[in-house]
Amino acid sequence: MNGYLEALQAKMSDADFQKLAAIPHTKVHEFIAKASDLCNCAKIFICNDSAEDIAYIRQKAIETGEEKVLAMPGHTVHFDGIHDQGRDREATKYLVPKGVTLSKALNQIDRQEGLAEVKSLLRDSMTGRTMIVRFISLGPPNSVFTVLGLQCTDSWYVAHSESLLYRPGYEVFRNADPSQEILRVLHSAGKLNENMVSVEHEKKRIYIDHMDNTIYSVNTQYAGNSVGFKKLAFRLAIRKADREGWLAEHMMIMGVHGPGGRKTYFSGAFPSACGKTSTAMLPGETIVGDDIAYLRDIGGVARAVNVECGIFGIIQNINPTDDALIYKVLTSPGEVIFSNVLVKDGKPYWLGMGCELPKDGVNFSGEWYEGKKDEQGNPIPPAHKNARYTVSLRALENCDPELDNPMGVELGGIMYGGRDSKAYVPVQQSFSWEHGIIAYGASLETETTYAILGQEGVPEINMMSIQDFISIPLGQNIRNNLEFGRKLKKAPIIFGVNYFLRDKDNGKFLNTPSDKHVWVKWMELRVHGEAGAIRAPTGLIPKYDDLRRLFKKVLNKDYAEEDYVKQFTIRVPENLAKIERVQRFYQENVSDTPSELFEILDQQRQRLVEARKRFGDYIPPESFEW
């Protein structure tokens, strides 16, 4: 027995001690021992992923009040504090040693200063509580994609969420080489009130020690800040991928059915609340994942896996018309955790669910009634805009059978999409891998949404939808993506999508939410060379006749040529302004930007300028059919 195991024995039952001792990994024992010592927990529970252990965690989440049982069998609800409703950019920082600087676009703090601060907040934070230890397999177990994850937390809700979101990792740890790298997370909800809600929000800290592959999170319960293997350890995986020559991406993965019974897999990067999950959940298609993907070059082919096996999804606007599959799961018996919705008579309600909401109930603010206001005098909505649901992918009728394939799935296409109300057309294909990575990926522009604390609606560059999470120089990430595609024998085709284009005259959206299914079907045909395209200055855009047929086939909807012209008119001034914003961002924030980025954007600018000379500022698509 090593010294760390010996030190832990007094805080564990014999059964838990045997479970931990079966893992021959001294670094695991060391991390747990040091976490226990720092946080001063009363007990330690080791989860070995047995049905009994998983059920015990769920029951404890209910017993402690972190979750409450709802009327539908299997459904529970969790509430986060009113100041803990989204990923907190200000409180999330990288710990950087003296003499080292990451991109100016990233929050950072001196490593020693940050460690001292976060450890002081974690000290004695688990007094009188149980520390739960979870072992996670990121990606399918026993695969070239597998990454090991270890989390210590005092939140039964967090531990329960991980049961739904991640593949069990205890047996993987038992059989792992003791020298194998581990991503580690230490989390404490901190001081709780009578409703089991973290209350010291001003002391919320989420610090990433990339030197030691460790995440520290304290005084928060919101899953994006506390479930360490969501976006937090993702930051560490990006560094691991950079060292080892693969890609860790903020991407969904879906299977799209095409003619003759074929299925083509796509990955897609979208910032939060920009359509990623709703794209992955399109009816009639299959979902492999909705959030984080690992991409590897296997035999010259790009293959991808879902790091997770569940969904922590935004619930706003999920209704039986637009999201029938997920709505059915959320309104049927089965294991689902709701968070920050409105509860009335044991039933959850959320914004945009397609029915009238109650005038009172319980929500993230406590007892709620119509007209209730917050400390600043602002009306409190019945449910939060960023209210969520947590569910296993296997609960979905459209879960792809390749979810746990250790070799992943072959990618035929990659999408990049944000919230761009003014410039980019709804769907376009890149001229090349390099053009797609730069013009659609590195230039991805969006507007801030309710999924992130702070002001909404502010336009910003969000490079490949990864900017909040990236822990290597931004320019290096662009180079990694460029090189990844160049080495492939058969690179996926890159597409740009934009579901949020507005009419430049009246400001109304030019698409309905269901239209995205047509764009996806067009992309599938393009991968196989079975649909035409028009060469516009920003990319290859669809032809009207192809879309008209697809609208009828996919949505049984007539598609007016007038709508097509509005949607696919190239807006030269807006596109030129977009290029200026992108170039300025990289010039001011990214010292290692590859010159190729500026060259490709300059080529796009020149194409736009030349088109304007011939056709004017706003160019309908038929103008390019020469």
SS3 string of 503-516? CCCCCCECCCHHHH
For residue 353, give Cα distances in angstroms to 213, 255, 314, 326, 511: 40, 26, 12, 12, 20
Nearest-angstrom CA–CA distance, 275 and 281: 10
**Confidence tier at 458 by pLDDT (50, 70, 90):** low
Tell whether 610 and 576 lie within a shared domain: yes
The Cα diameter of the chain in Å comes to 80
Tell whether 149 and 214 lie within a shared domain: yes
**Residue-wise pLDDT tens digits, 426-456:** 999 999 999 999 999 999 998 764 444 455 5
Tell whether 177 and 220 lie within a shared domain: yes
> Quick one: pLDDT at residue 459?
74
Residue 458 lies in a domain: yes
> Quick one: pLDDT at residue 547?
98
> Quick one: pLDDT at residue 1?
61
Tell whether 484 and 620 lie within a shared domain: yes
- Over 60: is that where the pLDDT of 618 sits? yes
> Quick one: pLDDT at residue 278?
86
- Counting Cα atoms < 13 Å in the Cβ hemisphere of 544 gives 18
Instruction: From 429, 402, 444, select the one nearest 492 (Cα to Cα).
Output: 429
Arithmetic mean of pLDDT, 77-81: 96
Q: What is the sign of the dihedral through the CA atoms of 87, 474, 303 and 428?
A: positive
Lowest mean pLDDT segment, chosen from 309-323, 451-465, 579-593: 451-465
> Quick one: pLDDT at residue 451?
47
Number of domains making up the chain: 3
> Quick one: pLDDT at residue 457?
58
Residue 265 lies in a domain: no
Angle at 623 between CA 617 and CA 626, to 5 degrees: 140
For residue 285, give Cα distances in angstroms to 147, 269, 318, 351, 405: 28, 18, 17, 26, 18
**Residue-wise pLDDT tens digits, 13-59:** 999 999 999 999 999 999 999 999 999 999 999 999 999 999 999 99
Amino acid in position 412: G
Q: The domain that contains 608 carries what CATH number?
A: 3.90.228.20
Q: Which domain holds residue 615?
A: 417-624
Lowest mean pLDDT segment, chosen from 221-225, 271-275, 396-400: 271-275
Tell whether 216 and 345 lie within a shared domain: no
Nearest-angstrom CA–CA distance, 203 and 173: 33
Domain boundary pick from 224, 244, 264: 244
Residue 271 lies in a domain: no
Catalytic residues: 274
DSSP letter assigned to residue 35 = H
SS percent in the chain: helix, strand, coil, step 5: 35, 25, 40
Strands 493-498, 427-429: parallel, antiparallel or unpaired by DSSP? Answer: antiparallel
Arithmetic mean of pLDDT, 74-86: 93
> Do 137 and 221 contact (CB within 8 A), yes or no?
no
Tell whether 387 and 429 lie within a shared domain: no
The enclosing H or E element of 487 equals helix 474-487
Residue 166 lies in a domain: yes
Nearest-angstrom CA–CA distance, 51 and 117: 38
Q: How many CB atoms lie within 10 A of CB 95?
A: 22
- Over 60: is that where the pLDDT of 413 sits? yes
Tell whether 116 and 209 lie within a shared domain: yes
Arithmetic mean of pLDDT, 591-615: 97
Report the DSSP beta bridge partners of residue 247.
295
> Quick one: pLDDT at residue 594?
97
Tell whether 504 and 461 lie within a shared domain: yes
Arithmetic mean of pLDDT, 71-82: 96
Q: How many CB atoms lie within 10 A of CB 171?
A: 16
> Quick one: pLDDT at residue 454?
53
DSSP letter assigned to residue 230 = T
Lowest mean pLDDT segment, chosen from 132-146, 339-353, 468-482, 554-568: 468-482
Domain boundary pick from 244, 266, 296: 244
Residue 77 lies in a domain: no
pTM of the model: 0.92
Phi, psi for residue 46 in degrees, rounded to 5: -100, 120
Tell whether 327 and 423 lie within a shared domain: no
Residue 211 lies in a domain: yes
Q: The domain that contains 323 carries what CATH number?
A: 2.170.8.10
- Counting Cα atoms < 13 Å in the Cβ hemisphere of 377 gives 0
Q: What average pLDDT does the chain have?
A: 94
| Token code pair at residue 541 | 């855009």
Tell whether 210 and 317 lie within a shared domain: no
| Token code pair at residue 400 | 């792809």
Nearest-angstrom CA–CA distance, 251 and 465: 8
| Burial (Cβ within 10 Å: 0-12, 13-18, ≥19) of residue 560 | exposed
Tell whether 474 and 595 lie within a shared domain: yes
Residue 273 lies in a domain: no
**Confidence tier at 324 by pLDDT (50, 70, 90):** confident
Nearest-angstrom CA–CA distance, 429 and 413: 10
Domain boundary pick from 395, 427, 456: 395
Residue 82 lies in a domain: no
Report the DSSP beta bridge partners of residue 429.
495, 540
> Quick one: pLDDT at residue 484?
98
Lowest mean pLDDT segment, chosen from 321-325, 513-517, 619-623: 321-325
- Over 90: is that where the pLDDT of 538 sits? yes
Q: The domain that contains 176 carries what CATH number?
A: 3.40.449.10
**Residue-wise pLDDT tens digits, 154-173:** 999 999 999 999 999 999 99
Tell whether 421 and 387 lie within a shared domain: no
